[in-house]
Structures are given as structure tokens and as C-alpha cells.
Amino acid sequence: MKTLILSDIHANLTAFEAVLSDAGSFDRVWCLGDVVGYGPDPNECVALLRQQPGLRCIMGNHDAALMGYIDIHTFNEQAARAVAIQSEMLNPESRDFLELLDIVIEEGDITFAHGSPRDPIWEYIVNSHIARDNFSAYQSRICLIGHTHIPSIFIENPHARPSILTPQHADRWRSEKRFILNPGSVGQPRDHNPKAAYVIWDDEEDTFLFKRVAYDVEAVQERILALGIPSRHATRLSQGI
């Protein structure tokens, strides 16, 4: 079985469609949160995500903010402005989907958390110290996260800090050890690569294939600016920051 693993779509329909087209055939989709926020297409992204086979999706901090579960003033001013604009745009079907998302999912030997296992909404796993402290917060072999918008793997080492990998396009990886894996962001990459990021897991081979795909960034930028979403969220798309 092949699983499309993605995260942080951030209301970027053009990037999301490019990922689905590039991924080829897959049997199910796992989304690690932040379907909305920043981009111009929240309803369209929710609708397209809901159509995907075997969908499992968890809540990210931007999803939670649009549902009023967390105060938008915990975001910086520009991110809060995007949330406020999208809140006015969101249709009832999108709200019904987002408000019922789980915060954490444990399925077989896999744990899903947007930020981290110990703080699913807010914590960023950005270094080995934070990763090490999170290995005790879940029991499964694999933990899938998003939130940082950077493809990365943290591999448990019982006797030292975890090893860190930063996979590039077409890197295929597997491990018998426990690990935390981030597929990167579909809609707003932050590793200085503007291409949308995703991962394909082949559970028969137990391999994780990291992929990047280009999309029409300028078209998305134009829609962001037309809605009055802060220009920072448009310009950063072309820089991958």
C-alpha cells in the first residue's frame, strides 16, 4: 500500500493540485494539519482533501485558530490577519470538517501530531534537543509531524542526541529505529526551496520517498494579494522562506 503523506497545505490549492498530480497512484492520504491559513483557497483545499482515499487528517494551529479554539492574537500580526480574512471566507462544509479533526492520532505503529507528540498544536521540533525530549512522549516506532515546513527526520539514539537528516528531492529512506519524520510543506515551504513538498510511504518496502514539485507560484501570489492577505505571505512563496 502506498500512502501520500503531506502537511501544511495552507490554503494553497495550486500547490495541492500539483502534489496530487505528481504523486501518481496512491491508496490513502495522511494530512498532518494546517489545511488552512496564509493562502487564498481555504474552502477549495478542504473540499479537495475530503475527496482523497483513506483520508486521515489532524488539526494544526491555523485550523484551530479558524475554529476559535485558540486566540488568533497568539499569532504574529500578519498570520493573524490571514486567519481573520479566511474566517470570513470559510463555508459551513469546511467548518464542519475542521472542527472535528483530532489533535493526535495513534494508528498501529504510527503517531500523528502537527507540532510534536508532547505539544501537538504549538511545539516546533527544530533540533535534536527538542526531538530527544519528544521520543518519550509517544510509544510507536514512527511519529509523523508537520508545523516547521521543513522536510526532516530525527532518528532516536538511546545513548546520545538523535541524528538529523534533511532529505532532498527523490531521496528514499528507511530505518529500523524509532524516528520522527516531517514531510515538509505543500503550500508554504520554508527550506529555501519554493517547490511543494510531500512524501510517499510504501509500507511493503517500508520506504519513505521525499518529493518536490513546482507549481504556478505567481498565480497564487496574485490571489493572496487580491484578498488583502498580507503581502509577506505572497512574496515568501517564491523564496521558500
pLDDT given for residue 159 in this prediction: 87
Give Cα 232 to chain centroid, integer Å: 19
The arithmetic mean of pLDDT across residues 88-101, rounded, is 96
Q: Give the Cα separation of 177 and 131 in Å (integer).
A: 14
Express as a percent the part of the chain with pLDDT over 90: 94
pLDDT given for residue 228 in this prediction: 96
- Classified as helix, coil or strand, 182 is strand
The arithmetic mean of pLDDT across residues 48-76, rounded, is 94
Give the residue numbers spanning the domain of 108: 2-238
pLDDT given for residue 194 in this prediction: 98
> What is the pLDDT of the chain when averaged over all its residues?
96
The arithmetic mean of pLDDT across residues 138-146, rounded, is 97
Q: Give the Cα separation of 89 and 154 in Å (integer).
A: 37
pLDDT given for residue 232 in this prediction: 95
- Domain containing residue 184: CATH number: 3.60.21.10
Express as a percent the part of the chain with pLDDT over 70: 100
Give Cα 200 to chain centroid, integer Å: 14
Tell me the three cell numbers of residue 38: 496564509
Would you say residue 71 has pLDDT above 90? no
pLDDT given for residue 215 in this prediction: 98
pLDDT given for residue 72 in this prediction: 84
Q: Where are the alpha helices (DSSP H) in the chain?
A: 13-23, 42-50, 61-66, 77-89, 92-99, 128-134, 217-226, 232-235
Model confidence, pTM:
0.96
| pLDDT tens digits, 194-222 | 999 999 999 999 999 999 999 999 999 99
| pLDDT tens digits, 5-56 | 999 999 999 999 999 999 999 999 999 999 999 999 999 999 999 999 999 9
Query: What's the total number of domains in the chain?
Result: 1
Q: Give the Cα separation of 203 and 83 in Å (integer).
A: 36
Q: Give the Cα separation of 180 and 94 in Å (integer).
A: 29
- Classified as helix, coil or strand, 79 is helix
What confidence category does residue 151 fall into, taking pLDDT thresholds of 50, 70 and 90? very high
Is-contact 29 58, C-beta < 8 A? no
